């Protein structure tokens, strides 16, 4: 058993550390029933409609690591994020934190585990209660989990957290609408750290911010990770941001991970055709002259996905096998894992 120190200096004991990853996700799926009401289906003779938002996603995140999930809108990134913090219950599969199944824990044990998991949302204003002062927003996790006794100690802790994210203790007396977007996101980060969290799920935390403010928030998150050994799942569609913060990158398409590799490997030698298309969409400011394949086609209807490899209607390397057989993640020569028949067969 070993201990780490959170950014504010409060010790947090990690149970059964060993060599086990902090987060393990095994084949999770989420199916939403988007059917019309029962009576409408009977009268109009319509079948049930099931949306497979996530379909068999697996990965692990080591302590102190940042795993980024990227992909086009609607690929299932945010649904994965919500399953990892318990907002959605997986239709099938398993999410474990430090070896404990997130779905099986209830009562005090479950509350203690969930205290170690927090989420930073995309819109910092919508995720903060506009009727509460900043002091109450940040202090809420402390009070709920009974981490400190006495209002004086709580006020002091709130001041420490505000200083830690680059704000001043006097800001605790203000309301969220009195801050800029970047400052509100810093408040969201302070609230996440208030529970002595070890795993932060960040759902596009900088997409609503100006570019200069994005850099400030991202640098703050990296600094907090170094100080407190925080572990991040970072959701984004901005590959430039992912390149700045991630250690490993998972590329999602229609609810599945199609490539998972270390950041440097993925950006230097992408394997899956979809990953290559995403990287080719980045402006070539260095004018390297490298041939680039423009992003073609549109994302298929998730209510009626293609058979076999769901990317095959847009893939220039698709063959008959791709149209029939669904690929699975396999180790690629580059060092990552890729779900692609063309890569497996050496055609690309």
Output phi, psi for 65, to 5 deg: -100, 155
CA 112 to chain centre: 21
- Which pLDDT value is given to residue 246? 95
Residue 182 lies in a domain: yes
124: domain CATH number is 3.40.50.300
Residue 42 lies in a domain: no
User: Model's pTM, two decimal places?
Assistant: 0.87
Residue 23 lies in a domain: yes
Asked if 186 and 130 count as a contact pair (C-beta separation under 8 A), the reply is no
Residue 223 lies in a domain: yes
Answer yes or no: do 340 and 284 share one domain: yes
Query: What's the total number of domains in the chain?
Result: 2
Answer yes or no: do 239 and 323 share one domain: no
Residue 89 lies in a domain: yes
Answer yes or no: do 201 and 57 share one domain: yes
Q: How many residues does the chain have?
A: 348
**CA 158 to CA 173: how far, in whole Å?**
11
Show which of 187, 221, 246 is a domain's final residue: 246
Answer yes or no: do 196 and 276 share one domain: no
Answer yes or no: do 242 and 304 share one domain: no
Show which of 246, 268, 298 is a domain's final residue: 246
Residue 254 lies in a domain: no
Residue 187 lies in a domain: yes
Answer yes or no: do 168 and 277 share one domain: no
Answer yes or no: do 267 and 347 share one domain: yes
Answer yes or no: do 171 and 288 share one domain: no
Answer yes or no: do 56 and 204 share one domain: yes
Answer yes or no: do 288 and 226 share one domain: no
Show which of 246, 271, 301 is a domain's final residue: 246
User: How do residues 84-100 score in pLDDT, each as one tens digit?
Assistant: 998 999 999 999 998 88
Domain that holds residue 334: 260-348
**CA 226 to CA 191: how far, in whole Å?**
18
Answer yes or no: do 202 and 333 share one domain: no
Given a cut of 50, the residues of the chain with pLDDT beneath it are: 1-17
Residue 39 lies in a domain: no
Asked if 64 and 243 count as a contact pair (C-beta separation under 8 A), the reply is no
Answer yes or no: do 222 and 88 share one domain: yes
> HSE (CB half, 13 Å, CA atoms) of 120?
32
- Which pLDDT value is given to residue 3? 36
CA dihedral 84, 87, 90, 96 (to 10 degrees): 30
């Amino acid at each position: 058993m070993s201990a780490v120190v959170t950014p504010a200096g409060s010790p947090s004991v990690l149970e059964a550390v060993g060599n086990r990853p902090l987060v393990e996700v095994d084949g999770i799926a989420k199916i939403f029933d988007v059917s019309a009401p029962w009576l409408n289906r009977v009268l109009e003779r319509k079948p049930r409609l099931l949306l497979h938002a996530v379909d068999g996603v697996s990965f692990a995140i080591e302590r102190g690591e940042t795993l980024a999930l990227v992909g086009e809108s609607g690929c299932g990134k945010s649904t994965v994020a919500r399953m990892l913090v318990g907002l959605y219950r997986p239709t099938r599969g398993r999410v474990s934190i430090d070896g404990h199944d997130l779905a099986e824990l209830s009562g005090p044990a479950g509350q203690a585990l969930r205290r170690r998991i927090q989420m930073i949302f995309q819109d910092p204003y919508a995720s903060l209660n506009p009727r509460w002062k900043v002091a109450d927003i940040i202090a809420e996790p402390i009070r709920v989990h009974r981490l400190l006794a006495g209002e004086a100690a709580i006020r002091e802790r709130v001041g420490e957290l505000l200083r830690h994210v680059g704000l001043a203790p006097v800001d605790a007396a203000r309301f969220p609408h009195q801050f800029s977007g970047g400052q509100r996101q810093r408040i969201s980060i302070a609230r996440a750290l208030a529970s002595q969290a070890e795993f932060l799920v960040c759902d596009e935390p900088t997409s609503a911010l100006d570019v200069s403010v994005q850099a400030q928030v991202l640098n703050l998150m990296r600094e907090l990770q170094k100080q407190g050994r925080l572990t991040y799942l970072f959701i984004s569609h901005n590959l430039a941001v992912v390149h700045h913060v991630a250690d490993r990158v998972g590329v999602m398409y229609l609810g599945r991970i199609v490539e998972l590799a270390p950041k440097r490997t993925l950006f230097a030698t992408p394997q899956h055709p979809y990953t290559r298309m995403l990287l080719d969409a980045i402006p070539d400011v260095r004018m390297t002259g490298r041939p680039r394949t423009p992003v073609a086609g549109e994302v298929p209807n998730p209510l009626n996905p293609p058979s076999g490899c769901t990317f095959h209607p847009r893939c220039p390397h698709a063959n008959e096998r791709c149209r029939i057989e669904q690929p699975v993640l396999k180790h690629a020569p580059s060092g990552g894992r890729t779900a692609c028949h063309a890569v497996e067969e050496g055609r690309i």
